[in-house]
Amino acid sequence: MDGITYIRLSKIERGEIFARANELRALAGGLGIEPEDLLVDVDDPAFDIAAWAEPLHGAAPADVEAERGAVLLAAALRARRGGDPALTIAVLEQDYGIAPVVLSRIENALKPLDRWNEDVRAALRRLFGAADDAALLAQVEALHAGGALDPVLPLVANPEIRLAKSRARIAALREELAAPASAPATSVPDTPVARIEVPATIDAETALVRLLPVFGTPLPDGLIARTPTGGVVEAPRNAGPRAYGLRLGRPTLGAGLPGRATLIVDPDRYPATGGLAVIREDGALRVLSVTADRHGRMLGYSQNPDLEVAIDTLDPSAVGAVLAAVFE
């Protein structure tokens, strides 16, 4: 399929990632259907996610006890990290050998303990101070019995959370597909270009001012909703066609970047170490400062709230670079 690598196509077919709008157009063209026909309505009473997933995973009955153990282990790991601010993603990788992508899979109950390799199981045993796998599982069960996992259990493998993310992404894709293929994504409206009056001695074409729409409404937990503010901001000369302005609303990165600042974000440019990044999260946006660990892996940080994000593990289409900041 032109424009889609085999690995990415395989992940799309298995439901591991969302296709982008241009990928849906390419797939639909190859199948001779409309791109919108590839999207499902997860709220349609006739839609059965189990029936949808059966061709991918087979109809074999699930091992309920094993899946329960995976969920409890995921909750225990989340609780362990939440109770120790020093236990960051970087520390888990550096000191325990748990890569960020593996950490994410464990915390989302991808598979039970006995299906992880020995290196991962050994790291988990050391993290929890367990002598063997049986002792680790017994410890997890004890945490659950004592109520220690209750605050985080709703976050693990929660179908409502996943459906909410699916709804938001499907709605965004429908919106993008409704626009001409050559137009910018409709979540970033066409950016107006205003011509200013200049002396005849100046080349008028070099004096074009491009105005970008500004979005941004503060949400809980440091997130920003991509809602139009009605304002505009001048684009830097290196801004791409889908660049936009993002008003912070809150000083999530500290006093050096106040809430009244507006960032110029280019979703088609990948961030660099030492700069700022904007990532998509739960249908909203989050601003992060970017650094790298000693292995060269890119990490993003927020101060309010105190977060660390492994940027390298995110879908590149969900990560954009900040080109500039405008302070009011």
From the list 285, 272, 273, 215, the residue with the least C-alpha distance to 243 is 215
Task: Give the pLDDT score at 197.
Answer: 40
Residue 6, φ and ψ in degrees, nearest 5? -60, -45
| Interior/surface letters 84-111, b for 16+ CB within 10 angstroms, e for the rest | eeebbbbebbeebebbbebbebbbbbee
Statement: residue 18 has pLDDT above 60: yes
> Per-residue confidence at 187, pLDDT binned at 50, 70, 90?
very low
Contact between 297 and 103 under an 8 Å Cβ cutoff? The reply is no
Average the pLDDT over 119-139 and give the result: 95
Task: Give the pLDDT score at 196.
Answer: 36
Task: Give the pLDDT score at 128.
Answer: 95
Map out the domains of the chain as residue ranges.
39-178, 194-326
Statement: residue 184 has pLDDT above 60: no
Statement: residue 179 has pLDDT above 50: yes
Average the pLDDT over 173-201 and give the result: 53
Mind listing the pLDDT tens digit for each residue in 148-172? Answer: 998 888 877 666 666 666 777 788 8
DSSP-derived secondary structure for 266-326: ETTS---TTSEEEEEETTEEEEEEEEE-TT--EEEEETTTTEEEEGGGS-GGGEEEEEEEE
> Per-residue confidence at 265, pLDDT binned at 50, 70, 90?
very high
Q: What is the distance between the alpha carbons of residues 245 and 168, in angstroms, rounded to a whole number?
A: 21
User: Burial of 240 by CB count in 10 Å (0-12 exposed, 13-18 middle, 19+ buried)?
Assistant: middle
Distances 163 to 41, 149, 192, 220 between C-alpha atoms, Å = 10, 23, 35, 20
DSSP-derived secondary structure for 209-224: EEEEEEEEEE-GGG-E
Q: Look at the pTM and tell me if it is higher than 0.95.
A: no
Question: Between residues 60 and 205, which one has the greater pLDDT?
Answer: 60
Quickly count: other Cβ atoms within 10 Å of residue 313's Cβ.
15
Homologous superfamily assigned to 194-326: Umud Fragment, subunit A (2.10.109.10)
The residue whose two tokens read 């074409």 is 205
Task: Give the pLDDT score at 211.
Answer: 87
From the list 199, 197, 223, 195, the residue with the least C-alpha distance to 281 is 223
Strand partners, 264: 245, 324
Q: Is the peptide bond before 305 cis (omega within 30 degrees of 0)?
A: yes
Statement: residue 82 has pLDDT above 70: yes
Q: What is the distance between the alpha carbons of residues 194 and 286, in angstroms, rounded to a whole number?
A: 30
Mind listing the pLDDT tens digit for each residue in 268-326? Answer: 999 988 889 999 998 899 999 998 877 778 889 998 888 889 998 888 889 999 998 88
Sequence letter at residue 157 = A
CA 167-270-319 angle, 5° bins: 20
Q: What is the distance between the alpha carbons of residues 114 and 133, in angstroms, rounded to a whole number?
A: 8
